[in-house]
Amino acid sequence: MADSPQYMTIGTVSKRTGCKVETIRYYERVGLLPAPVRSSGGHRHYDHDALKRLNFILRARRLGFTLDTVRALLSLADGEGESCVEVEDIAGKHLDEVRGKLEDLAALERVLTDMVARCRGGTMPDCPLIEALFEGGAAGRRDGWN
Amino acid sequence: MADSPQYMTIGTVSKRTGCKVETIRYYERVGLLPAPVRSSGGHRHYDHDALKRLNFILRARRLGFTLDTVRALLSLADGEGESCVEVEDIAGKHLDEVRGKLEDLAALERVLTDMVARCRGGTMPDCPLIEALFEGGAAGRRDGWN
DNA sequence: TCTGGGACCTGTAGTTACTACAGGTTCAAG
DNA sequence: CTTGAACCTGTAGTAACTACAGGTCCCAGA
């Protein structure tokens, strides 16, 4: 468990990034991370660049980008393309999506809060929450849920 | 295409609810919808109750409940259990989740907006968005993303 | 130097909630 | 009665992992 600062085992990378070992291997399999050098016994050894790249992926994933988008972002970062303009485009489209979801969630929070409030203090057989879900009321609004 | 008001084909149910035909059959397969009566030729025929039940499922899904939770909700609605108390419990737990997601998304929106703004108007080779993703900056914050 | 057991390996299958065929049958309008 | 849209079943694919099973490797302690 004493890997040098420049060569880390997959377990160390996992601990440092908070990304599961299986997920790291998965990212390699789908081509997001390059295949690292191996020990004579076949164990993966990662350097600092790999750590940076993995952090990039994780950060982008946390921001809700799909793996395909992350792939595009990485190839831009790797130097293909005019960078900034394309990146802004990708991020801008993503931002629109995020704003839509945000609206939906806000509406949802209102509905749930309201439901729970009306529910509280009753063991009545006709639960207002179930009722609301069955009858609709304010639950709908934004369409397009195929 | 002239099904009576009480007996609808799966296609009609699909149009009325906005739920895809395949998804309706899927809900039947996983036990969320009861198997409907069939025509002599084997076509499904739905009544108004099935429509109500499907709408319940869709609304609950739209509110972000998992199918397992929907199943639980439906069995409560179907009469097992003390109803209100349990329903409130399920909804309350769900509300916590929703509030968490809401916070995350709000933070995410700020970061993305900021990134896009900094990106705008530059064809510089060092894109600040890519930079931000690589270096971290304000992108993180709420941990626990395994 | 030996050894025990934790960390690592590959490959495959499972997860959630659908979606998309392929290949065949039924229904109803004209 | 024909025709073609809508229906049927069953299987496989999707995203993005996650979880085994059944092995091999590595290294700290005795």
Q: How far is B35 from chain A (nearest CA, A)?
A: 20
pLDDT at B143: 32
> Which range has the worst mean pLDDT, A87-91, A118-122, B59-63, B105-109?
A118-122
Q: Mean pLDDT score of chain B, rounded to an integer?
A: 78
Q: Over range B109-129, report the average pLDDT.
A: 68
Q: What is the ipTM of this complex?
A: 0.69
Spacing of A1 CA from D30 C1' in Å: 19
Spacing of A6 CA from D15 C1' in Å: 33
Query: B8 - beta bridge partners?
Result: B46
Q: Is A83 on the interface with B (CB under 8 A)?
A: yes
pLDDT at A125: 55
Enumerate the domain spans of chain B.
10-77, 84-135
pLDDT at A100: 77
**Binning pLDDT at 50, 70 and 90, where does residue B117 land?**
confident
Residue A36 makes CB contacts below 8 A (sequence gap 6+) with A28, A44, A45, A46, A47, A50
Phi and psi torsions of B142, nearest 5°: -80, 115
Burial track A45-77 (b if 16+ CB lie within 10 A, e otherwise)? bbeeebeebbbbbbbbbbbebeeebbbbbbebb
Q: Over range A7-23, report the average pLDDT.
A: 95
pLDDT at A89: 80
Q: Is B96 on the interface with A (CB under 8 A)?
A: no
pLDDT digits (tens, 9 = 90+) for B21-38: 999 999 999 999 999 999
Provide the token pair at A68.
């395909």
pLDDT at B18: 93
Tell me, which fold does domain A1-65 have in CATH?
Answer: Multidrug-efflux Transporter Regulator; Chain: A; Domain 2 (1.10.1660)
- Tokens 């900094």, residue? B118
d(CA A120, CA A31): 51
Q: Which residue has the higher pLDDT, A24 or A100?
A: A24
Which residues does chain B have within 8 Å of residue A120's beta carbon, measured at their own beta carbons? 88
- Chain A residue whose CA is closest to B116: A88
pLDDT digits (tens, 9 = 90+) for A93-125: 878 877 877 777 787 778 778 777 776 655 445
Provide the token pair at A6.
């420049």
Residue B92 has pLDDT above 70, yes or no: yes
DSSP tag of A138: T
Residue B1 has pLDDT above 60, yes or no: no
pLDDT at B65: 81
pLDDT at A115: 72
Tell me, which fold does domain B10-77 have in CATH?
Answer: Multidrug-efflux Transporter Regulator; Chain: A; Domain 2 (1.10.1660)
Residue B2 has pLDDT above 60, yes or no: no
pLDDT at A79: 62
Report percent pLDDT > 90 for chain A. Answer: 35
- Best mutation target among B17, B69, B126, B129 (most A Cβ atoms within 10 Å) is B129
Of the candidates B129, B71, B20, the residue with the CA atom closest to the CA atom of residue A95:
B129
Residue B119 has pLDDT above 80, yes or no: no
d(CA B87, CA A83): 50
